[in-house]
Amino acid sequence: MADGAHAMLAGRRRAPATGAGRRWYGRVEAPLAAVAAVFTLAQLLLVGPALGLGWDETVYVSQVTTHHPAAFFSAPRSRGVSLLVAPIASWSTSTVLLRVYLAVLSGLALYLALRTWRGLFPPRVRATAAAFFATLWVTLFYGPQAMPNYWVAIGALITTGCFTRLHLRRDAGRACVRGVVAGAALMAWMRPTDAVWVSVPLLVLALVRRRGPLLLALAGGLVAGAAEWVVEAYVWYGGLAERLAEASRVQGGLGRHLAVADQLRSLGGRALCRPCTGPMPHPVITLWWYLLPLVAALGLVLAVRARRTARTLIPLACAVTAAVPYLFLIGYAAPRFLQPAYALLALPVADALWYLARSPRGRWRPVGAPLVALALTGHLAVQFAVLAHTVGNTTESRRAWARTAGELHGIGVRPPCLLTGYESIPIGYYTGCSSGATSGNNENTTPEEITGTARERPVAVLLGPGEAAPGYARDWTPYRVGELTARVAPPPTGHGRATAP
């Protein structure tokens, strides 16, 4: 009897330790953490930390670095990316360090974003969703870059996950309310208009169900994230409507535009498809894009059958509204624009894939499992092939900017200096010069201001192939720099220059 009592007491003492171990494992979520870690390593290995900064990146980074003049910041842009990179860019010029920082941060963010869905989808589904989204070439390519769309996707996952848990009363804790606020603020911080499109279904649902606190948390996060953008609208553009109108003009005029074909063309590895002409990529490259909504719809059917509709319908609805402006309201395309939609679709897609591969009783389906494995293998092969192609082309174009910058230094165009004309924004960043434009989306100066600046510091006009020099620069000295022509103003007093070839 004593031995039995002793055994019972010992068992009770061991139980908490075992439970604590299980809770610790649940907190860490090893499968999801492993996917996030592999995602981080894949960015560093497949994209590489030495990849030079792209056009848009130079704009965002230049706003916070003390080593380069700030480039013109057009109406659609928001300061979120600049603040995101500030911990590194504010004191270091190292692109490698910035890439490593962003890769690690993006992996950690992916883990946290999918963790908000615990209790709604099983761990294996969330880990699979993370793996699906993380292995898209566009996610791997832009994860370590100073661009906003990946971070809108992360904010969308956090917002919808916490919102859904609160809506279904799976979690009444303050942490989940803070998650809604933080996720919405992150989206609006990066791209205010995208944040609104993602949030439309959530705002409607909160209104219809009269969930005042939930509506307040969501709206509060959006307002907090967009506050700086709105203040700038009144300070620089004369009001919010005026900034929105200018943003529309910069993007070619928002309205009825069927951009579905443009998005398909961009899937072959085109960072920006504007104008979006040329042939479609091979059908093998675009097949996943056609299958994605079908598999997601299967995930919704399964959720309805299991009477768990809300957990799948909410992210699906947000994915649809997130994609609407980039499929139907804008006249050009970039694959990164749809990252928030891909992230939200990943959960129902992963749920459907597990159903196709495994029965509810836990047995692998003899036909479904091999087919899913084969499809995923082919999908990964396509994504990595497009990624390699894209990284190769991008690396070369950014090296060309660096070479042009070196040649400009050689002819006397050194900081402090001003560049205008063809690709003057990225080349200006690489050269260490300010950039200016007298027309177009980045117009921020006049010919008179340019010639006035030329009396104080080196100024050059960059001309693309076959491009004529503007009137004020026709008498300036021409130089060949890479594939471009640079017309350089007469040197101001005290500045030397190399002899023209």
Mean pLDDT of the chain: 91
pTM above 0.85, yes or no: yes
pLDDT exceeds 50 at position 10: no
Domain range list for the chain:
406-488
Can you point out the beta strands (E) in 328-371?
none
- Residue 473: exposed, middle, or buried by beta-carbon count in 10 A (0-12, 13-18, 19+)? buried
Could you give the CA distance from residue 209 to residue 186 in angstroms, rounded to a whole number?
A: 25
- Residue 308: exposed, middle, or buried by beta-carbon count in 10 A (0-12, 13-18, 19+)? middle
% of the chain exceeding 70 in pLDDT: 92
Locate tokens 């670095």: which residue? 65
- 277-296 pLDDT, tens digit per residue, is 888 999 999 999 999 999 99
Question: What are the φ and ψ backbone dihedral angles of 298, each rounded to 5 degrees?
Answer: -60, -40
pLDDT, mean of residues 134-154? 98
pLDDT, mean of residues 15-29? 46
Single-letter amino acid, residue 120: L
Residue-level pLDDT at 493: 67
How would residue 88 be classed by pLDDT, with cut points 50, 70 and 90?
A: very high
Q: What count of residues does the chain have?
A: 501
- 48-57 pLDDT, tens digit per residue, is 999 999 999 9
- Residue 245: exposed, middle, or buried by beta-carbon count in 10 A (0-12, 13-18, 19+)? middle
pLDDT exceeds 50 at position 11: no
- 205-231 pLDDT, tens digit per residue, is 999 998 899 999 999 999 999 999 999
- 167-193 pLDDT, tens digit per residue, is 987 666 788 999 999 999 999 999 999
Residue-level pLDDT at 5: 42
How would residue 13 be classed by pLDDT, with cut points 50, 70 and 90?
A: very low
pLDDT exceeds 50 at position 21: no
Residue-level pLDDT at 274: 84
- 348-364 pLDDT, tens digit per residue, is 999 999 999 998 888 99
Could you give the CA distance from residue 330 to residue 321 in angstroms, rounded to a whole number?
A: 14
% of the chain exceeding 90 in pLDDT: 83
pLDDT exceeds 50 at position 15: no
pLDDT exceeds 70 at position 452: yes
Could you give the CA distance from residue 408 to residue 347 in angstroms, rounded to a whole number?
A: 50
Q: Which residues, 6+ apart, have CB-to-CB distance to 358 below 8 Å?
A: 364, 365, 368, 369
- In contact, 67 and 159? CB cutoff 8 Å: no
pLDDT exceeds 80 at position 477: yes
Residue-level pLDDT at 17: 37
Could you give the CA distance from residue 135 to residue 115 in angstroms, rounded to a whole number?
A: 18
Residue-level pLDDT at 491: 86
For residue 118, give the DSSP letter. Answer: B
pLDDT exceeds 70 at position 483: yes
For residue 43, give the DSSP letter. Answer: I
Residue of 320 and 491 predicted with greater confidence: 320
The 3-class secondary structure across 187-251, one letter per residue, is HHHHCHHHHHHHHHHHHHHHHHCCCHHHHHHHHHHHHHHHHHHHHHHHHHCCCHHHHHHHHHHHC
